[in-house]
Amino acid sequence: MKLTDKPITNFLDELASNAPAPGGGSVASLGGALGAALVSMVCNLTLGKKGYEDVQGDIEDLLVQAEALRAELTGLLEEDVKAYTGYSVAAKLPRTTDEEKAARAEAMQAALQVATDVPLQIAEAAVKVMDLCMPAAEKGNKWAVSDAGVAVLMAEAALRSAALNVLINLGSLKDLEFAAERRARLESLLAGKGVMRDEIYDYVVSKL
Amino acid sequence: MKLTDKPITNFLDELASNAPAPGGGSVASLGGALGAALVSMVCNLTLGKKGYEDVQGDIEDLLVQAEALRAELTGLLEEDVKAYTGYSVAAKLPRTTDEEKAARAEAMQAALQVATDVPLQIAEAAVKVMDLCMPAAEKGNKWAVSDAGVAVLMAEAALRSAALNVLINLGSLKDLEFAAERRARLESLLAGKGVMRDEIYDYVVSKL
């Protein structure tokens, strides 16, 4: 059964338990999906509404993007748990002979690379959700402006949460070129996003 | 059926739809509940673990607090939707005679007070979750330190999301004393929490 098919209370129970997955990575992707869903909500409350005739095309575009990101982030929630499982399986491989030790180390490194790339994808998608929030706040139904504000708060929290889950793995990666490339991508994703969050939040507050 | 009994995908679908509830207020409480659940996870990964003998009492206390806050925030998710429904019902009351108009205005003000106080409770609970994150990061299982980081990110996003939902209603409240008291409480809750989030995030990053 997929995690996202479970009732919210059950997901929260599993999260709170001593099982290492689902954990922070799953919450990062869920946070991003919640942000995307709120952008969609703002769009759906704007489409066909009187007074918003001029922005219908823009809002339709925003909705398509938000829904694609919601689907991507919901999928990444499952991928994050699979990535953790992949690493656990590799760590439990036999390690008696030198050959076994080498094979286990290689499998663990491969699993670590996946466990780095999944939260990096979550971070990339979360940034794309953030990019939709100001247009949603400015062009969307003014009665839903606070929902665009909540969207950016959740998406930025998702970005930073995903960042923590990338950073956990970077230090254990033996392929230093791979690690450096991922770190550079992460830093580029994080740059300026705290300021962007505050700007959108302040804009929303000014409209309340 | 309670919203929290619904599968995550269904909740996201309802959120994204053009129904005004669930919306940002529900996401605020869910964000707080996710943060609380992650604090519980850190605690559950620390209880009974070798090397953490000295902090078992502290961790037990943190777990009790985190689980109480998770229950409170999960309950507030339903309360937020009820508060919205209460306002909608009041707004649809008849308004033909002067008596009806007065009764409707009074019912709407009463509903607006509830719709202000529910997100204020969410904000208060989110701050309490934030207060647990640094102890969880410092004393909890070091392998779960990133989960304590994600917890504070989600709880702070929940706090600010709840704040937006308090602020929406403050301007429409006719009881200015009530509004001023709620605004002062909200400002006190928000003060310093951005800095607190950054401090805990930076501490977590320093441990990765």
What's the pLDDT at B140? 98
| Interface list for B 142-171 with A (CB within 8 A) | 143-144, 146-147, 149-151, 153-154, 156-157, 160-161, 164-165, 167-168, 170-171
Cβ pair A38:B31 closer than 8 A = no
Residue B57 has pLDDT above 90, yes or no: yes
Q: What is the pLDDT of residues A32-90, one digit of tens each?
A: 999 999 999 999 999 999 999 999 999 999 999 999 999 999 999 999 999 999 999 99
State the CB neighbour count (10 A cutoff) for residue B141. Answer: 23
Residue A20 has pLDDT above 90, yes or no: no
Residue B1 has pLDDT above 90, yes or no: no
Confidence tier at B77 by pLDDT (50, 70, 90): very high
Give the integer Cα–Cα distance in Å for B180 and B183: 5
Mean of pLDDT values over B103-116:
96
State whether residue A31 sits within 8 Å of chain B by CB.
Answer: yes
Give the integer Cα–Cα distance in Å for A190 and B194: 17
Mean of pLDDT values over A10-26:
94
Residue B96 has pLDDT above 90, yes or no: yes
Q: What is the pLDDT of residues A86-137, one digit of tens each?
A: 999 999 999 999 999 999 999 999 999 999 999 999 999 999 999 999 999 9
Q: Which residues of A touch B15 (CB under 8 A)?
A: 34, 37-38, 40-41
Mean of pLDDT values over A170-191:
96
Cβ pair B31:A161 closer than 8 A = no
Is this prediction's ipTM beyond 0.90? yes
Give me the residue from A12, A143, A170 closest to B74, CB to CB.
A12
State whether residue B102 sits within 8 Å of chain A by CB.
Answer: no
Q: What is the pLDDT of residues B148-197, one digit of tens each?
A: 999 999 999 999 999 999 999 998 999 999 999 999 999 999 999 999 99
Give me the residue from A41, A146, A153 closest to B168, CB to CB.
A146
What's the pLDDT at A16? 97
